Every structure is written in structure tokens, then in C-alpha cells.
Amino acid sequence: MFFGRVPVLEAEGAVLAHQVRTGEIAFRKGHPLDGPDCRALAAAGVAEVTIARLDPGDLSEDAAAAHLAEAALGPGLRADPAFTGRANLFATEAGLFLPDPAAIDAFNMIDPDLTLATLPAFRRVVPGEMVATIKIIPFAVPGALVAAGQRHLAGGAIRVAPFQPKRVAMLSLRLPGLKESVIDKTRRVMEERLAALGSRLVAEARTEHRQEALEASLAGLDPAGFDILIVFGAAAIADRRDVIPASIEAQGGRLVHLGMPVDPGNLLMLAEWRGRPVIGAPGCARSPRENGFDWVLARLCADLPVTGRDLQRMGTGGLLMEIVSRPQPRAGEARPGRPAAFGIIVLAAGRSTRFGTENKLLALFEGRPMLAHVLDVARAAAQGPVIVVTGHEAGAVQALAAGPEFQLVENPDYREGLASSLRAGLGALPAETEAAFVVLGDMPRLRPETLQRLAQQALEQPGQEAFVPVHRGQWGNPVLVRRSLFGDLLTLTGDQGARRLLESRRDRVAEVPVEDPGILADFDTRAALEAAGG
């Protein structure tokens, strides 16, 4: 592949290596240059451009990524179309993610131009969750490299082991100091855990924390009625000769392993009894917080065998304590695989002086107020709070956004300009909001898919701080900005919006091509609205 600067009129058929903006012309990085493009650039005064031109036998970045993604697809996966040299792989069913580390290492060592990143092994995934990404570094690579990569990835280098419905029995042991309400809560937590794994609790019994009592309970169980047995002691299992392991062995079972290098979860016991796996649950398994018990239960529900050596290999990554860098989910909180907390700020406070005496947001477009169309988009694309900032004619505007899905924030300083409304909206976002869309209230042709595409790109490009939709080479609205830029946005004044800030920091902005002309269509005047059929 050739890479370098050439006269613009000699660049036809090549790929633009760097973004070019001049006057009204804007071509993004990766744009394939045709004859009219080159002539337009030359007419605008551009003498040279940096290009990439494929050699015979080369594959473009997108073609290479697509071929490798197809080779990597194992059971339970799908791939999105390649874009800018990247192909993302997603789970199609709930289960455990199973990459082959040796195959992935071998792939990544073929050549620096080929890269593959995945989630950790045995990560629980849900349908639609991204599990791996293939990225081609240059604009093209030799076909021989791609063929070598395909050989390493073929044969199930990446797959998902789906959860299978399991019938689970549970025995709870009692001591005088253990309240019955604690056991009741343990059952509820266990039922929720199993439901998330596609399984269910089919039997539960309670008995005294004594060996003879537990042996009697075991003797009364029919192993044909369940697939997994879980035993909660009233006290932790302290030794291989303690009540729970001793009872299982006395009833013909076998202790597989006691203890695991996962914290919380150290005091877990794994055994086998009448062909069924038995988990002696550690005390932390009474809580919904993630612990070593979850790791073992998930593997069993995915029909993956668990041995003593498997447990001993769980130490790396096994520190699950709740520290700042690793928050753990609690009941009712977000779980892995759910969308990130992206808020939406709808700016609807302006006076629209260029429109005339009428508030343009209330003007009819296709039979409905212009703002009503924008609110429909926000409602359809919402993944978090939707803040509607009002000011001019606040009562009438608030009436349009009266639903429970919207949070109304009145900006008393709206006459100061757009920046004051942006500050009001940012200030109303919850602390856990990771990023926010800034949506203008006068863009009734905007599509919800555009917001969804920006959100997806934010998940896929964690290194970028802002995301701007681009249609036919032009920046549009709305923009999506991460919390790391909120402080800078709060310093804006007058009629400055997020766009002005982002234009000055292009290195931190990802341009996202969209097939939505609505990102360019706002209506500042009555004439513009009437020309559009409003």
C-alpha cells in the first residue's frame, strides 16, 4: 500500500488519509476520492492531499475486518458490518463468553496491523452486548495477512456458551441465632440469581445445622428432580470434616474442592452427589453482590464442567471487593450489559427572535408543534434522564413535555443565550450520567436512530470525549458529550453551544456518518419552515 502526499489531481481512486476542510467542502478521513472530489478540492485551492492507495493483493480496511470477523464468529455471536476498519462482534444469547487466549494471542502476533480485543474469559453476557472488536490499523493490508489471521480464528476462537435452564434444589441449615427472615431473604436472592441465568428453584428445605439432620435431608432428596444442589450452612464451612462436606461424603458423595481464590467467596465448597454438582455456598452468597459463588453457578448453568483446578485458576481477577475502581452491582442497580447512563438535554428555552412574534417551537410542522417531534425522538432514544430546559413562554412549552418521561427545568436566565440553557440542563443531570446528548428543539426531522448510533459509537470508542453526526461531509446536531467535557461546557457564555467548543477540540471528537438529513435541518425563520412544508 502506498501512503503519502500527492498532487490532488493525481489522488483519484485513493483513500483520503487525513480530514480535509476548506470553505464549504469537508471530506472525512477514509473518504474514497473520485474525480469530481479531486477537481473540487483543486478549485478550492488544495494542492496536495495525504492518501492511501492499495497495491495489488491488498484488501481495504473494511474488507479485511469483515473477512476476519466472519472467521472469528463462533456459536452465539454475530458481527456488525465493518466500518472504518473495525468489525464489532456481539452476543446473540445470554451465556458465558469463551475466548481462546492462545488463538487470540497468536492472531495478535501475526502483524501489528491486525488487532483483536475481547472481553475477559467467562464474562457473563447478554444478547446485544459487544464481546470483541477487530481493528485494522492502516487503510489496507495484504491479503496474505488476512488469510493468516483467518486460520488462527477459525474453529471457535470466540464463542458464547449459552445458559441452559436448570432445576435447582436448595437446603438451608439452621442454628438458634439465625433468624428465619435471613433464610427467607436468601431464598429470594437465589430465585433472582437463577432467573437471570434462565434457571429456577424447584425445591427448598430447611433443617438443623447438624450432620445427622443434613444426612436425613439428603437421603430424602430424589436426584432425578433437580440438576444442581445448593447448601447454605448456618455457619461457614471451616474444614473438610465440617458438617456439610462430611454429610455429603457419608451419603456417598465426593468432595471436589474446598476453598477458592476469589474474595468474596473464599469459603465455597464444590462436591458431587449422585451425579449432581453440589455447591456449599459461602455466606456472601446470601447477598446479591457478585462473589465467587456466582462464577461457579454461572458455569454450571452454561453446562461447563467445574473442577478443583478450575477453581484454583480463578485467582487472577478474583478480587471482587468494592473499591473505587471496581463497583459491584446491588439489587435494583445496573447490571452488566445494560446501556450506559446517557442523558438527553432538549434545549427549548430560546426566544426565536428571527422567527417573528411566534415561538417557533410551538409552530406547526406536519400538523404538530415543532418541539413535539423532537420530544418524540428523545422519548424513543432515551437511555437515561430526558431534561427539557424551558424559558421563553415556559408554560406553553412545558405543556408539551408534561409526561413522566421528561424532567422539566426552567431557565430564568434564558435571555442571556443558549449557553445559559445548556448550563441549566447539565446541572439537572444525575451524578451517574456518563454522557449527554445536546438536542435543539427546532429540529423536527431528526431520527431516533441517529441518537442510538451516536450512543453505540460512544460505547465502542471510549477514548473519544464527544461524538458528532455527519451527513454528506457536514457536521450536524445533536452532539453527544462525555462528562469529562461538562466542566468546559459550563464555561460557555452567550449564544455559544456545545458545537463551538467541539470545533476547537477536533482531536477529542469522533465524527459519526449517518443517513439522516434531519441533523442539518433546523428552522430559524418562518420562511424556512414554510419552504419545508411546515
DSSP per-residue letters across 340-358: P-EEEEEEE----GGG-SS
Is 265 within the bounds of a domain?
yes
Residue 269's domain is classified under what CATH number? 3.40.980.10
- Same domain membership, residue 393 and residue 286: no
Residues 364 and 465 in one domain: yes
Within-domain flag for 130: yes
Q: Is residue 103 part of a domain?
A: yes
Whether 330 is in a domain gets the answer no
372 with 473, same domain: the answer is yes
Examine the domain organization and report whether 257 and 377 are in the same domain: no
What's the number of domains the chain is made of?
4
The model's pLDDT over 413-444, given as tens digits with 9 standing for 90+, comes to 899 888 999 999 999 999 888 899 999 999 99
Burial class (CB in 10 A: 0-12, 13-18, 19+), 517: middle
Each residue's pLDDT tens digit, 458-474 = 887 877 889 999 988 88
* Share of residues in the chain with pLDDT > 70 (%): 96
Residues 11 and 94 in one domain: no
Q: Are residues 133 and 244 in the same domain?
A: no
Looking at the structure, tell me whether residues 47 and 105 fall in a common domain: no
How many CB atoms within 10 Å of residue 376? 14
Same structural domain, 190 and 295: yes
Q: Name the domain boundary from 162, 177, 201.
A: 162
Whole-model pTM above 0.85? no
Enter the DSSP assignment of 196: H
335 in a structural domain:
no
b/e code 96-115 from CB counts within 10 Å (16+ = b): bbbbbeebbebbeeebebbb
Q: Are residues 407 and 480 in the same domain?
A: yes
What's at 444, amino acid-wise? P
Q: Is residue 118 part of a domain?
A: yes
pLDDT at position 534 over 70: no
Co-location of 288 and 420 in the same domain: no
Report the pLDDT value the prediction gives residue 321, as an integer from 0 to 100.
Answer: 54
- For residue 324, being part of any structural domain is answered with no
Question: Do 239 and 221 reside in the same domain of the chain?
Answer: yes
Do 380 and 253 belong to one domain? no
Q: What is the span of the domain harbouring residue 241?
A: 167-312
pLDDT at 333 over 70: no
Higher pLDDT, 508 or 322: 508
pLDDT of residue 111: 96
Residue 318 lies in a domain: no
Q: What is the CATH number of the domain that holds 120?
A: 3.90.1170.30
